[in-house]
Each structure stands twice: as structure tokens, then as C-alpha cells.
Chains A and B, each alone.
Chain A
Amino acid sequence: MENIETGQLIKLTVNEQSKEIYVRNSETLLHTLREKLGLMGVKPGCYNGDCGSCTVLIDGIPINACHILSVEAVGYQIMTIEGLKDQTIPEEFIKNWAIQCGYCTPGFILNSYALVQNNPDADDAAIDEWLESNICRCTGYQEIKESVKNILNVKR
């Protein structure tokens, strides 16, 4: 390797735990979370920030893990589906049949969780604005929307 620093030892805070790992600078958080930390709930779908399957929360904000470098995530609270303690949303997804193949589910659940946390008064337009970030290829989306609406209604 040439005499330049193209990788480094970093500390990431993932699901409230501090993790020390060596990463390449050009490594995406998607790769690091899956391959180095074994967090397989982060699902690759497009590697291009287009589908929302690998959504994780960075300081509570949904971010596509394929569209952020691991070195960028230093200093933030990273949450993956494995770190979601509040089971309200997963339970509502189950109740509403919002899961079929399950591949888009972690991304949808984390995005929905962030929506409910950040915008408990979300109206239909806000729900649309948030959920259109994620592609589901199985359900037709209605069940997912209903899940989110039910939770918002209970919160209100």
C-alpha cells in the first residue's frame, strides 16, 4: 500500500455500545455494521441510497447505511433494528400483516419509529413524506401505513 492513510481504527457507538473497529475510509456503514459487527438486520437492497432497506438511525435520524461512510458516523449514536427496544412498532407491523418477505421490514420499522418519535402529530401528508423513502415489493404498502397510523392514533 502507498504511504497514505486509507483506513483507521474508529470508535462507533452502535445500539448504545461502544465498538472499536478498523475500517477503510471508503467503507460504507452498511458494510461495517454487517460484516464487522454482524448486524445483519441492516439489509442491503440497492447500495445506492434508493430503496431504504438499510435504513439505520443516526442520532435518531433515518439514514441509508449504504450512503454514509463509517468514518463519518464517528461521534453519533447509531441504532439498528437489533437495538430497537421499544417493540410498539414491530408489534403493530405484526398485527397489521405489514410483513411478507421481511427484507424491507427493518428499514421500514426504523423509519416508522423515527417518524413517531420526531413527529407524533404527523398527518397523512407527513406519513407519506416519511414512508416514501422505503420500497416494499410485497405488500402494497397499505398495511405498513396502517401500522404507523395506528401508533400515531394511540399516541395522540
Chain B
Amino acid sequence: MLTEANSHQPIGKSQILEWLQAVKDPEIPTISLIDLGVVRGVEVDAVTGKVSVHLTPTFAGCPAMDYMKRDVERALLAHGVPAVEVEISMREAWTSDMLTEAGRQALRQHKLSPPPVIGNQVFDLDFLEYAECPNCHGNNTELRTPFGATLCRAVHYCNDCRQLFEQFKPV
């Protein structure tokens, strides 16, 4: 296959974002890094065509960051981008409100309850106890433990479905 990039002209930012849509979270294969909200910036050097991508972790101790970085590099290089630099920082700290609507749908598809939108409400401890059941979409649920299989997941119980389910934590 020919490379998709024109070597004489830098690739547009919207094209880069489109390619990044195909890069999924290493642990939740239904959601792209874009919809997860961890891609905080993309810049294309007008002269060299080098692409800089700014990533931020969902949780500071997330062990998947190195994989995300690698996957971004691989995806863009495979499309013929001449050079890729991925920077990880918390300049713009991730919050669960950075999930896009498509991202929330992708979480539901994976049977993960998306976090409630915080907006400008006070993010107090009560907030953490709310979750929508990914099966019946009701909210007759209770928090069983704020720590689940990964740092970004909590475990809740649906009193209607009588089942445990996982939630992507609001933060």
C-alpha cells in the first residue's frame, strides 16, 4: 500500500485526528483515545511535517500510558507521518467530563457505566456514589467499592437487575 501522506506537504490536523480515532484504549477496545478525552492537543510542524501529540492520563498512576503513547506513534507512522512526538503531561488535567458523547456510548457498549457529567456542580463525595446501570439504564444502584479492576473503574450494584456492574469513575 502506498503511504497516505504526501511527503511534500504536511498533513492537516483534521486528518491526524481522524487517524487517531482508530487508536483505541488498550483496556477498553470500544473507545478511542480521542473520545476518551486524553488527547489534549495535536500540532503539525509546517516545515518538517512532524506531528506532536499531547496526551494526559485519566489517572496519574495509569499503567496504560506507555501503551497509548506507543499506539499513537505506531498508528501515525503507519500512515506515513514523517516523525511523531508524544508528550505526556498534566498541563490540562483530565476530568471525566472530557469524555465525548460518542465516548460515553462506547463505554456503554463495553457494559461500563459512563460517569455522570459533573459540569459546574460541586464534585463532593456524594457524587461518587451515583451510577447508571449499563443494563437497565436505571439509577436504583449503590456503590459497592470505589476500587475495581483498574484505577479508573468502580464497582456498583443495581438493585433492579440484581447485578454488579462496573462504572468508569467520575473524577
Does A associate with B in a complex?
A: no
Contact residues of A with B, CB < 8 Å? none
